[in-house]
Structure 1
Amino acid sequence: MAFVRRLCLLLTALTLALAPHRAAAETAPPVLIIVDGSGSMWGKMEGDENAKIYGVRDLLRERVLAAPSQSRIGLGSFGQRRKGDCSDVEIITPIEAGGSEAAIAGLEQLNPKGKGPLTAAIREGAKAIGAGAAGHIILIHDNADNCSQDVCAAANDIAKTNPALKVHVLSLGLSKPERDRMQCLAATTKGLQFDAENQANIATALGEIFTTAGLDSAAVAPPVPAAAAPAAAKGPPGLRLSAALRDGSEPIATAMSWRITKAGAAPDAPPLVERKSREINETVEPGRYTVAVTYGLIQRTLDIDVGDDGPTVKRIPLNGGRLDVTATASRQGDQLTAPVMTISALSADGTGPASVLWLGREATAGLMVPAGKYAVEVADGLARTVQTVDIAAGSAARAELVLDTGRLELSATAFDGGPPLERVLYLVSADDPAAPEGRREVARSTASLATFTLQAGTYYITARHGAAEFRDQLAISSGDIVKRTLVLGVGQLTVKTAVPQAAVQSGRATVTRVFETGAAKRLVGQSTAAVPTFILSAGRYRVEAQVGMSNIRAEQTIDLAAGGALTADLKLQAVEVTIAGIASATAQAAMRDTAGRVVWRSRTGDGFKAVVAPGEYVIEVEGGSGEITVSIKPGPAVTVDIATP
């Protein structure tokens, strides 16, 4: 009975000790912190070196983790998941007692990228707190609503449905017109309004807002007895483990992965403990254990001995820190869509080979990494930049990389105002003294809208469409989007050639050629297609069709206009000529035109048959059989007897 009485007294004392905390948790007002997740949060405030999101994150982390443990805190945001979406509003962590750690974990993952549906976020926040409920919304933002919503109307609605809900507004570097637009929100809901121009302003404003919202531990923490000096751990043998980023620092407040096995166990042996938690409190038999801790990209494995006189208490130093990386297209904070980010570990002196630690298609990254030296590389299209960062144990470092890129968008038309052309080859070149011609090709594309991400500089553009070629030079500045429609001044020429049956039966292909008519008479197009089509710059051309290398030929001069489509009709004439009266089947016969050029020469087995254009010819036979002059008229096949005078 004495034991029962002692137990009852102990439980009563414990209940009385916990009662103030439980009551405080039940009565603490709900607080929702809404952090702007729009892309502009990657910009910087005047005089600050870091992006706005980093400054807000650091100051909120300090304040939230210092809030009383019974505080009811949640986290919301807008614009952080999708670009250009005015419905992108999210309650990231629910409002709950002890929600500080979850809110900070959600804040660490926040990746601003989209628009600013601020008003919709405030309305969702009021719903999360509940109709008629008292509470606080802390809004931190850097622009007014840009989704065509009326923030003042939302403030009036909240004041009616939640008259005890206060909205505190912390604006970062707003212009005066935008500040005027936002004044009604805090004024209508009886909240606090602050306009911050730098980090110091933000820190001061958060201090006042947190005190008003009941998140100041000095103001609201229930009185507790002075803490006694920690007693030595008592109890059965076991492991009571926590982890810190460096030896002697505070324990890590967020969950990490733990795996505990018996020392010397087989690699495939099941672990005794495997879970994610802030700390380990396990009862185990005395002996040696292998403990593996993983926190982000940090991994630490060590053996720990457990005696039989009680639990082993140890805070494991992970020897790591935090690395935050931001990559932007320009110094104005223009966002990158899907860059390739690579983080590689270097040797201590930075000269050794790099080993890739992390790779992702992100413009931002927040990683826990082992202490050491790292190369952070970001590539987007043809642009690339690298920065070296040192991480000391227990520290946090930032790498802010600017690619100084712009975007080039190219399209082409045949004539000014014409429809876009397809199948255009775009070539982009840059100056390079080491290249054979002083320029180096850096990109090419055949897309109808060719898009290139290029570092700021001067580039040379070549567009080829069929036989036509267009050249241009342009400059791209950091953050620019250069859109250029190239007017190629081209037209389309189609050639239809009527080929006589005699030429078809000869088995030789008909070749169509297009020549410039200028002094150079340059060949600009050639095809063996039955009905070829040529894309040519506007101008005058000579079109020729020829059967093989014979004298069966026709030509025409045409004028092609930009954007025009022209058809040239050519007609070939050919006659089959059989030469009779040759005594020997192995004799060699030939036909010459009036200029003395040989237009046909017999081959063994062809039966002394020639297919030629109409005209005057001399037929001669080697070996003394003589020669004869003949006139071949257009029409059916003819036979010429060389033995007949």
Structure 2
Amino acid sequence: MRIVRNFLLGAVAALGLAMPALAAERAIIVLDGSGSMWAQIEGKARITIARETLHEVLATLPGDLELGFMTYGHREKGNCDDIEMLIEPALDTGAAIAAAADEINPKGMTPISDAVRLAAEDLRFTEQKATVILITDGLETCEVDPCALASELESQGIDFTTHVLGFGLSDEEGQQVACLAENTGGKYLSANDGEALVEALTTTVAQVVQAEPEPAPEPEPEPVAEYNYKPTASLSEGGPDLANEGADLVWEWHTVAADGGKGEWVGTDYNSDFEGSLEPGDYIMTATMGYASSEQPVTIEAGKVAEPHFVLNGVYLKLRPLPSEGAAVDDDATVEIRNGGEYVTTSYGEVDLVVPAGALEVDVSIGEAKVTRSYDAKAGDTIGEDVIVGSGTAHIVSEYVAGTPVEADIFIEVVEAKANLEGERKSVAYTYGGDISFDLAEGDYVATYKLGGAKGEVPFSVETGERVEVPVVMDAGILAVTTPGDNFVEILSASKNLEGNRQSFDYGYGPSFQTTLAAGDYIVAAKVGDAVTETPVTIKGGERFELTVEAAAAGGKKK
């Protein structure tokens, strides 16, 4: 399988490499469109480098090359089904592919395996030669084993190859996706910048040409026998058969093991109108749609058509998570689905799934706000509703004084305003940052903050569907202390309590120690050798106070 050589003839010509004429072939480029493609290499985003490379490589293509273009992760966050064929394989698609790449806006997941599978199916890899060229800067994030997929595609394909170009991957990361190429007889090459990416593509072509000559034409395939296996499925007993439209059925069959259970995997196919041929014998067949499935033994007899029916015992679950009545669907909402207390799956944003019937529990969360829905779901039902989570947004901006924002990693924790019997307040959420937002259920809260030796709290309330601004104005400044060496420094209150002790606000070690303190008077205690220096300081809001501590006289204190 040598489709890659045709795909990159333009790049080879641009670099002055002579190439022999090759037979017409079909290929699909799969370009990573996940959020990590915004990462930069030497000040330039990876997606920008990829676009420029495609423009250069595809400037000249052979007239008999049918080339397509696919991407993933470019439309939605958290959606493993976000895969799209942008350009179907056809002649003279170089300019169209380059233009399509320019419009990709990376933002989502990295469903490498499913994208390669869909590209292979579009090329009809079980019927003819097919090559997929994957350019990725990340690893699979959708719980599918790319190595197992590659072996599956290789075993089913007529002449199938995947070439993988790892863009910006470490050696260890590259090993995790190289099997997609190695298990299908392809090449894995690594590139860390735009020049290396073009070179990797060109090298792939050169190696393929040098490795093997163009194979002799395959003999015409024998006519396919009529099918002897045509299964059907429904969601409920006595319910209508699932039609192909909207019925993403998966059929999988195994041999029967000695103990009567599943033996070796035989094959997998898709869609409700599937019909095919199997060798006569006994099998165990599984029909799956979404998260509902059914399994039964099936016997294939010579000269007969087996038409087993599967009852999936499933329901359609269609939920729209909304922060408030009339609001738009929150695409970042988390939806956890359980059946009879057993975990089924977690989805994001709008839910449109088939799940097992029974006692369903669904947790719908937007940020820290959560509601639970319970359904007594009967097979064949459709459960659909807008789920109002009842959340609002708290926007917390921290400032030393009004107009002077905090750019350091200030710790912000949101707690419930009401304390329990022990006087403790329940923690709701926390993070670091001077400009942050929390999605919270309607109610009363307190934002606590801590930065260095400065801490405090600000009460606020959240209403459903509303955004509340929570200003955290610390009235604080910065104290910077320089010591002769790595001396211990502690910041104490200027006054003592009734027991004669001073409150400790912060501590650290020299020669450079810096902390944030609320405006007021303090004592800077520094241990230099066997002596301790105590220096009074006054901190003013929005100002920086710099103190240099010198060594005190041996055996005493310097004040």
Alignment TM-score, normalising by the size of structure 2: 0.51
Counterpart of 2:457?
A: 471
Counterpart of 2:329?
A: 335
| Distance of aligned partners of 1:320 and 1:549 in 2 relative to their CA distance in 1, 3 Å threshold | same
Query: Which aligned pairs between 1:584-603 and structure 2 lie closer than 5 A?
Result: none
Letter in 2 for 1:325: L
1:576-613 superposed Cα distances (whole Å, 9 cap, x missing partner): xxxxxxxxxxxxxxxxxxxxxxxxxxxxxxxxxxx558
1 CA distance for matches of 2:444 and 2:281? 69
1 CA distance for matches of 2:353 and 2:370? 21
Q: Give the one of 297, 302, 309 matched to 1:303.
A: 297
Please tell me whether residue 458 in structure 1 is matched to residue 444 in structure 2: yes
Aligned length: 338
- State the 1:313 CA deviation: 4.8
Counterpart of 1:540?
A: 521
Counterpart of 2:362?
A: 376
Counterpart of 2:395?
A: 409
Structure 2 unmatched runs, 5+ = 1-73, 89-106, 108-225
Letter in 2 for 1:574: A
Please tell me whether residue 256 in structure 1 is matched to residue 243 in structure 2: no
- State the 1:568 CA deviation: 4.5
Q: Give the one of 543, 546, 552 matched to 1:567.
A: 546
Q: Give the one of 213, 230, 242 matched to 2:232.
A: 242
Larger Rg belongs to: 1
Letter in 2 for 1:363: G
Query: Which aligned pairs between 1:151-550 and structure 2 lie closer than 5 A?
Result: 238-254=228-244, 256-260=249-253, 267-269=262-264, 271=266, 274-281=268-275, 290-304=284-298, 311=305, 313=307, 315-346=309-340, 354-360=341-347, 362-431=348-417, 433-434=419-420, 436-495=422-481, 513-517=491-495, 522-525=502-505, 526=507, 529-530=510-511, 532-543=513-524
* Contact 2:254–2:285 (8 Å) recurs in 1: yes
| Distance of aligned partners of 1:244 and 1:546 in 2 relative to their CA distance in 1, 3 Å threshold | closer
Letter in 2 for 1:330: S
1:395-445 superposed Cα distances (whole Å, 9 cap, x missing partner): 211254322222223221111111334132212111455463241222222
SS at match of 1:293: strand
2 CA distance for matches of 1:355 and 1:341? 15
Query: Which aligned pairs between 1:99-118 and structure 2 lie closer than 5 A?
Result: none
1 CA distance for matches of 2:262 and 2:495? 82
1:449-494 superposed Cα distances (whole Å, 9 cap, x missing partner): 2332222211111222222223210001122333333211112234
* Contact 1:328–1:363 (8 Å) recurs in 2: no
| Distance of aligned partners of 1:390 and 1:399 in 2 relative to their CA distance in 1, 3 Å threshold | farther
| Distance of aligned partners of 1:540 and 1:324 in 2 relative to their CA distance in 1, 3 Å threshold | same
- State the 1:563 CA deviation: 1.0
| Distance of aligned partners of 1:268 and 1:523 in 2 relative to their CA distance in 1, 3 Å threshold | same
1:60-88 superposed Cα distances (whole Å, 9 cap, x missing partner): xxxxxxxxxxxxxxxxxxxx9359xxxx9
1:241-286 superposed Cα distances (whole Å, 9 cap, x missing partner): 3222233333211252234566668844463x64223245557788
| Distance of aligned partners of 1:482 and 1:281 in 2 relative to their CA distance in 1, 3 Å threshold | same
* Contact 2:357–2:378 (8 Å) recurs in 1: yes
Letter in 2 for 1:529: G
1 CA distance for matches of 2:265 and 2:534? 88
Letter in 2 for 1:538: A
SS at match of 2:404: coil
* Contact 2:234–2:312 (8 Å) recurs in 1: yes
Letter in 2 for 1:302: Q
Alignment TM-score, normalising by the size of structure 1: 0.45
1 CA distance for matches of 2:304 and 2:441? 64
1 CA distance for matches of 2:292 and 2:517? 62
SS at match of 2:405: coil
* Contact 1:323–1:391 (8 Å) recurs in 2: no
1:321-346 superposed Cα distances (whole Å, 9 cap, x missing partner): 21212222223324324233221111
- State the 1:356 CA deviation: 1.4
| Distance of aligned partners of 1:399 and 1:374 in 2 relative to their CA distance in 1, 3 Å threshold | farther
| Distance of aligned partners of 1:324 and 1:534 in 2 relative to their CA distance in 1, 3 Å threshold | closer
* Contact 1:340–1:379 (8 Å) recurs in 2: yes
| Distance of aligned partners of 1:425 and 1:259 in 2 relative to their CA distance in 1, 3 Å threshold | closer
* Contact 2:481–2:510 (8 Å) recurs in 1: no
Counterpart of 2:198?
A: none
2 CA distance for matches of 1:510 and 1:375? 56
SS at match of 1:414: strand
| Distance of aligned partners of 1:495 and 1:363 in 2 relative to their CA distance in 1, 3 Å threshold | closer
* Contact 2:519–2:540 (8 Å) recurs in 1: yes
1 CA distance for matches of 2:523 and 2:254? 87
Letter in 2 for 1:355: E
- State the 1:238 CA deviation: 4.3
2 CA distance for matches of 1:263 and 1:546? 78
SS at match of 1:423: coil
Letter in 2 for 1:404: G
* Contact 1:405–1:453 (8 Å) recurs in 2: yes
Letter in 1 for 2:313: N
| Distance of aligned partners of 1:517 and 1:291 in 2 relative to their CA distance in 1, 3 Å threshold | closer
- State the 1:555 CA deviation: 4.1
| Distance of aligned partners of 1:288 and 1:547 in 2 relative to their CA distance in 1, 3 Å threshold | closer
Counterpart of 1:8?
A: none
| Distance of aligned partners of 1:269 and 1:330 in 2 relative to their CA distance in 1, 3 Å threshold | same
Counterpart of 2:103?
A: none
